[in-house]
Amino acid sequence: MMIKKIKNIILKKNKYKIVCLTAYSKNIAKILDKYVDIILVGDSLANVLYGHKNTHAITLENIIQHTQSVKKGTKKSLLVVDMPKGSYNNIKDAIKNSKFVMKKTKCDAVKLESNKKNFQIIKSLVKKRIPVMGHIGFTPQFKKKFRIEGQTKIETAKLLKEAKSIELAGAFSIVLECLSPQSARKITSQLNIPTIGIGSSSHCDGQILVTDDMLGFSGFYPKFVKKYVNLNRIIEKAVKKYTRDVKLNKFPTLTNFLNGSKLRKQTKNKK
């Protein structure tokens, strides 16, 4: 099943756009799963959910716990897990930790940020039948300063070389984060595996965004994020209403009182 799902993602290249979003918990995953091809449990979890300055503080335990929750809401999408910084410094650790993550979460693949030196690591994981998604460009685990990469011919050539080596190592797809449109186009056209862009123009085989950003819930909205809804405003409105109701003794009303054993309202909607 896992291999079939990955094959289907690869087969989309040059035919259909690949749709990807992040999730950190079951309820969101359940909604995404109806529509997207790939759900990524990203280490952006660190900034978005835990309020850290960068992604570095995320541990294997954190990512496993959130993936176990996401897995409960995921039936059809490919479930990819970001390996935390420091968990794949060498071949031995990478294999041990990736196997552990896969066993504990039943995810389909792991994602490794490229530091230009992990060709052998990716190759070893693939040899152990651990599917790998690569990630180049702005890689927050290894780069501090945010900048758009691939703005010159020399830089584009370097990025292409890096992407090709990740493909050669056996990765089944690759995230291009914050690349110039020219380099995203060049890399996408020269690779056989699909490229998934974030802030890298439409010249990619697919797109990914951090779900909390596109829902207007994270407070982080760089130019490449399209806010599809302002969830912050919607939630605030509801919380304000609830506060007023409690203060004015308008909640709970008789309909919200518990009677006997019926803890939940009977609804026609399936769980």
Q: Judged by CB under 6 A, does residue 179 bind ligand KIV? A: no
For 139, residues 6+ apart whose C-beta sits below 8 A from its C-beta are: 113, 114, 115, 177
- Residue 142: count of CB within 10 angstroms of its CB: 13
Q: Which of 36, 163, 171, 175 forms a contact with ligand KIV (CB under 6 A)?
A: 175
Q: Judged by CB under 6 A, does residue 44 bind ligand KIV? A: yes
Site for ligand KIV in 237-266 (CB under 6 A): none
Query: How crowded is the C-beta side of 37, counted as CA atoms within 13 Å?
Result: 22
**Which of the stretches 35-43, 65-73, 230-238, 250-258 binds ligand KIV when contact is defined by CB under 6 A?**
35-43
Closer residue to ligand KIV, CB minimum distance, 132 or 198: 198
Could you say which of 113, 167, 177, 236 is catalytic? 177
Q: Which of 36, 121, 198, 214 forms a contact with ligand KIV (CB under 6 A)?
A: 198
**Token output for 4:** 């079939």
Closer residue to ligand KIV, CB minimum distance, 110 or 191: 110
Q: Judged by CB under 6 A, does residue 69 bind ligand KIV? A: no
Smallest distance, Å, CB 23 to ligand KIV? 10
Find the DSSP H helices in the chain.
2-11, 26-32, 45-48, 60-72, 91-105, 119-127, 153-169, 181-190, 211-214, 231-247
Smallest distance, Å, CB 132 to ligand KIV? 14
Site for ligand KIV in 112-151 (CB under 6 A): none
**Which of the stretches 39-47, 88-96, 126-134, 242-250 binds ligand KIV when contact is defined by CB under 6 A?**
39-47
- With beta carbons less than 8 A apart as the criterion, state whether 93 and 124 touch: no
Please write down the HEC assignment for all residues of 72-109: HCCCCCEEEEECCCCCCCCHHHHHHHHHHHHHHHCCCE
Q: Which residue in this structure is represented by tokens 């176990």?
A: 68
Q: Judged by CB under 6 A, does residue 101 bind ligand KIV? A: no
Q: Judged by CB under 6 A, does residue 42 bind ligand KIV? A: yes
Give catalytic status of residue 236 as yes or no: no
Q: Put residue 116 in one of left, alpha, beta given phi > 0 → left and psi -120 to 50 → alpha.
A: left
Query: How far, CA to CA in Å, does 50 sit from each of 8, 57, 58?
Result: 34, 9, 9
Q: How many residues bind ligand KIV (CB under 6 A)?
A: 10
Q: Which residues are catalytic?
A: 177
State the residues that interact with ligand KIV by CB under 6 A. 22, 40, 42-44, 82, 175, 198, 208, 210
